[in-house]
Amino acid sequence: MKKHHQLKKIGLLLLTMTLILSACGGGGQEQGAEEDLFITIATGGTSGVYYPIGGAISTILEEELGYDTSVQATGASVENINLLLNNNAELAITMGDAVLQAYEGFGAFEGEEPKTELTGIAGLYPNFVQVVTTADSGIETFADLKGKRVGVGAPNSGVELNARMMFEAHGMSYDDIQEDYLSYSEAIDQIRNGMIDAAFVTSGLPNATVIDLSTTHEVKIVPIEGEAMTYLEEHYPFFTASEIPAGTYDNEEPIPTASITNLLLVNHTLSEEVVYNITKALFENLETLHNAHNAAQDISLEKVEEGMVVPLHPGAQRYFEEQGVLAE
């Protein structure tokens, strides 16, 4: 009997310990579940702007939240959107025009179901539409492009998509020009060689190829303003009226133009708490983002809604509401 009683006591003790360990273990798993997340950040080519900014995001998430991360070099916007939709990425940097195309099912996503599950964390920094020419071309206004040889970007590229929209906004089309499908670096070379008169460049500021052109020619940027800019904002909400600051290309005055915001998208399957923590970590460590690239200097709490063409993820929205930066 005594032996049986001792065995029973041992059994009860073991059961109690098991329950305690189970509770502790369960709590530990629950606490560590978020820390165990692996975050893939879809960016762009390693020589572009997206990649170093993705690297800064990775650093913040690892140091502040303990996440394991991977910065993935990609073909940028359209590929990044598909990576998110296929659950092969948790975060992605994208251009606003490509995001709207996916969200509404046109352009690069023509014939596909609208990707209404897309959600954002924040607008990051702008790409500026730059219609580049030289002082000796005689081109002063957009209308002056009529009859001219114009580099409109590589076929179906973001630059070329923007070029078509610019002509539309000015009541013009490619029928009014001699278009040449060139990347902007090729187009700038052709301007220098006298083969074309102007070129479309959509990029952050300053653009290295335009700076290079300014070493041999007096560069002029054709303004986009007035009714054309109003048309763009009404028909294509990813455009924002902006200015190229004085001194960017030896210009004495700011030059009005259109810009498109680069967006940080997030996989909609991530929980509100996780996205809240990601958003908080990023915007409490803006210096790390700003140091990643000159273009990233424009990332700020005050601009998180600029160019955002999809809903904010609930986690990001909660953080920004706490900060009082969302428009009412």
How high is the mean pLDDT of the chain? 88
Which span out of 23-37, 43-57, 113-127 was modeled with the highest average pLDDT? 113-127
Predicted pLDDT of residue 21: 39
CA 178 from chain center: how many Å?
Answer: 31
Outline where 170-313 has alpha helix (H).
184-192, 208-213, 226-235, 272-283, 286-290
Pick the more confident residue, 201 or 299. 299
Q: What pLDDT, in 10s, does the model give residues 193-250?
A: 999 999 998 887 888 889 999 999 999 999 999 999 999 999 987 888 999 999 999 9
State the DSSP string of 209-244.
HHHHHTTTS-EEEE---HHHHHHHHHH-TTEEEEEE
- What DSSP designation does 312 have? B
Is 114 within 8 Å of 123 (Cβ atoms)?
A: no
Query: What residues are paired with 180 via a beta bridge?
Result: 151
Predicted pLDDT of residue 267: 98
Cis peptide upstream of residue 254 (ω within 30 degrees of 0): no
Pick the more confident residue, 9 or 298. 298
Q: What pLDDT, in 10s, does the model give residues 58-98?
A: 999 999 999 999 999 987 888 899 999 999 999 999 888 88
Which span out of 37-46, 149-158, 199-208 was modeled with the highest average pLDDT? 37-46
What structural domains and CATH numbers belong to the chain?
36-125+262-323 (3.40.190.10), 127-260 (3.40.190.10)
Range 299-326 average pLDDT: 95
Predicted pLDDT of residue 156: 63
User: H/E/C letters for each residue in 112-134?
Assistant: CCCCCCCEEEEEEEEEEEEEEEE
Q: How many Å apart are CA 124 and CA 241, to the nearest integer?
A: 16
Count, residues in the chain: 328
pLDDT band at 34 (very low <50, low <70, confident <90, very high): low
Element (H, E) at 317: helix 314-323
Residues above pLDDT 90, as percent of the chain: 68
The token pair at 61 is: 């998430």
pLDDT band at 33 (very low <50, low <70, confident <90, very high): low
